[in-house]
Structures are given as C-alpha cells and as structure tokens.
Structure 1
C-alpha cells in the first residue's frame, strides 16, 4: 500500500509484536535487561504487569529471543485452563504424552523431565501470558510447580505477564503464598509524550525509512493525545495516518491525517476491541482508496 510511497521495505506500525521493531526507550530496555537477569539467576516467580496494549507481549518475545541457548522456553497462552488442564498443557510443551493420566502422575512426569533437563545443563522457563484472566485455582497450581526442585535450585522458572487486574488477584488473602513467591515485579509504563517522536522515528528507520522527519510536530502531538501513551494505539494511529498521507500523495504526515485516524479509531472513548478494530480499519481503507481513485 503506502510502503513504496514512503521508501519503506515493510509497514512500520503493525500491531503484531515483532522483535525487529523493539524500542528500548521509556524503560523498555532496562526492563528487558532486568528480566533476563531475573530469569537466568533467580529462583522465584517473576511478574510483569501493564495496561492493555502497553507492550508486554513484545517484552515477552524479546525475552525469548535474548535468552541464552541453554534455556528451554515454554509458552502458556490460554489463560482459561483449569488446574488439571494447565498441567497437561505444560507437559505437552515439554513433549510429554499425558493422555489419560491423573494429575499426580502428570506432576511426576513433569518432575522427571525437568530433572533430566537440569542434569543436561538446561534451564526451563515458563512464560504465561494474560495471567490476569487465569482462574485463581490455576494460578495456585502454577505456584505449586515452583516446589519442583533439586537440592540446590528450582527446576522451573515462571514469568507471569498480565494486566493490572493480576495485582488485584494477587492481593487477595487466599493468594498470599503465590504473592510471596514473586521475587521480581516489573511494571511497563505508558509512553510519555516526549518519547513518542523517538518511538515513531525508531520504527520508521527499522522499516527502512531514510528521509527527513515524516510526522509533523502537530501530528505527533495529536498521536500522543489520542493514544494516551498506549503503544498499540500509537501504532494504529500512525499506520492510519500514513495511509491518509499516501492517499493525499504527500511525503509527510500532518495533523489532518492524524485527526482522520483518531476519528476513525474512536479512541476518545475506549480501546476498540479485537474484531471491531479490524472492521473499522477495513472501512478506513475503503474510504482512503475511494479518495485516491477520484
């Protein structure tokens, strides 16, 4: 669409987390470094929280990409599993066949596999996304997995990624044991207004842009106001604004283009959820192409 127009080799503001576009400013780089240290040296549970769209999944992908070769990474992406299901899901990530086994048998199989990997000099890390949506009983089952250990070290390192509601769950009296197992906690902040120009420039350069500043100062101010510092919103607004500039056959993005993007995205009231945002974006694209063809 607009990539050739702006001299890009790919779209710079996709909402799918791509490590090639990781921006280390606004504490992201420091959080990643601290996560790497906590995972490779710690023995407790690590927690990462932040608002919807703030960049937690990007940090999760970057953590996986930066972990040393001797670390095996397991993913738990379905937060709605019951305690029995979560054990089978983790076992499946380890390549274990657990069909028809009782929960205690699955735990023994997990322990045997983790001991074998530990003896081979490997560490195992479980990355749990959307942990705020996990039933409390399942969170407690995951906490019990930290009891799997040798005489000197834990066999499984756990990192919980979740929205602020996760902290609300952990504050409940019944979750005290899990809360006390958390040795490192990180909060991913919104992007402050003064960082947004650098964020936009970083992603444009990562996508191959080599020209002058593409977004006007007014455009950046509107993106900051319309996104409220939420990275996913910044990406959506910037992407739509680029499309609007392309339709106008301009080599830059101005305030008018961002206003069109904000009006279409409806971020003044709330974040547009999943499928609806795609429908809105499809309508925006159709409008842009009608304008370009006239």
Structure 2
C-alpha cells in the first residue's frame, strides 16, 4: 500500500522539478530580452510595461482565491507596502545592472541573495545562525569578491546596482517570511501587484520614449515569460515543497552563461566562473543546513506531541 501512495508523490515532485527548470528558463529569456531593450530604453520604462502584465496576472490569481477587498486586509499593511517597494527597487536596479554587466556575471553576483537572506534573518526574524552556516556564508561572499576583483567584471555602477538588487531581493524574501505568519499568500500577492503597479507607473511615466513595433513585441514577450514563469512556479509549489525546489534555482547561472554566449557572444571568464561556483556551493550548504534544522524542529515537535 505504501508503494501505491509514494509513487504518485515521487511523480509529482519530478514534475515540480521540471516545471521549476522551465520557469528558470523563461525568466532567463526574459532577462536576455530585457538586456537588449535597456540598451535603447530606460529600465524604468521597461519595468513599468512589464509590471502591467504581471499585475493583471497576479490580481486574476488573487481574485480566484478571495475578493480583492478581502485580500487587502493585512495585519501588517506597512510591511506589505515595504515588500512591494523592495521588489520594485530590486527590479529597477537589476535593469540598471543589465545595461553594462554581462548576463553570466550578473547572475553570478545576484545569486548571493540566499546568503544575504541568512544574514538579514538574524536581526529581522530573530533567527540564530550557527558557526557552520556563518562560515558557509563567509565563503560565499569571498566568491563574490572573486567575481568583482580588479581585472574581473568592470567596476562600474552596474556592479553596484547588481549588489543592491541582490540585497533588496534578500530583504524582500525575509520580510515576506515575516508577513506570511499573519497574512495569506493571496494578501501578499495582492500587495506586491498593486504597490508595484503604482510605483512602476509613477516613476516609469517620466522616462517614456516612443517604441517601435519590434521593440514593443519584445516587451510583450517579457510580459508573457513573466506571467508564464510565475504561473508555472505556482503549479510547481503545489506539487512539492519550496525547500525541495529551491536548489534547482541555481540552474539560472549556467542558463545565463549560455544565453550570454549565444545572444551576446560573451563567455564568462574562468576565474569569475570559479567565484560563481563557490557562491552556489555555499548557498546549497546553507539551504541544506536550514532544511536539516527545520526537519529537526518538526521531529522534536512530533515527539512532544506523541508524549502528550
């Protein structure tokens, strides 16, 4: 009987992993198209147009779960607004970084965000980080220094924007964890959509430039990949826990390197690739330790419940 139950679960996890990889592929294509567009248009304009598509998609998802007025009832409304602001700063600065930093190197820098999540969770969530995890985080940051070393990625504003993007996305994740203890996923999604829609529009309208049909078609494609990516991730998370799927997000690095070589003719240099590998390895170690810690907590809780 156990085999009959386990096999479908394993099939579901396998499908979730495939969907996650497809999602990462869609987001990678979106980044490559955005890099092409920001060479001629302001990242604020491109972000505004992309967010129109995402906001409509997100609000449709919310409406299927609860009325919008009900979804906007938050027990932490200021934190929800802060989440929306952090997400917009992340997208804006990522777009600015796309102008000058090659896709492979950019992805290699921003994948430090899981390590930053570990650091930011200490003061914001009150989490405790052991020596082992702290050492892994330190090693990951050394990998980032290898990438932005003298003679590596050109030290311009693009690198600074990439680091800001990673930091604000990490803060966004930590604050999302915080509000998830009191608000539903529908509430968080509604705030992300509406706050981002208002902010991106309020800023992007001042950077508007007329756009040809070909470029407009590329923007429309980024809207499609954004909505498809988020939709596929929702399905994936319904089949498998986030802790199982999170390590596969590092597929974004080789995918970005491949797209950078094929579309832009740029290969990441071996030393930067080594630094990126160190960051990814450190991130996977931190994830493994967090997963083991959570499993230990659940085991202890189950043992206490059993004794009671």
Pick the TM interval, shorter chain.
Answer: under 0.3
TM-score, with length taken from structure 2? 0.24
Higher relative contact order (CA 8 A, sep 6+): 2
Structure with a larger share of its residues in helix: 2
TM-score, with length taken from structure 1? 0.25
Structure of larger gyration radius: 1
Structure with a larger share of its residues in strand: 1
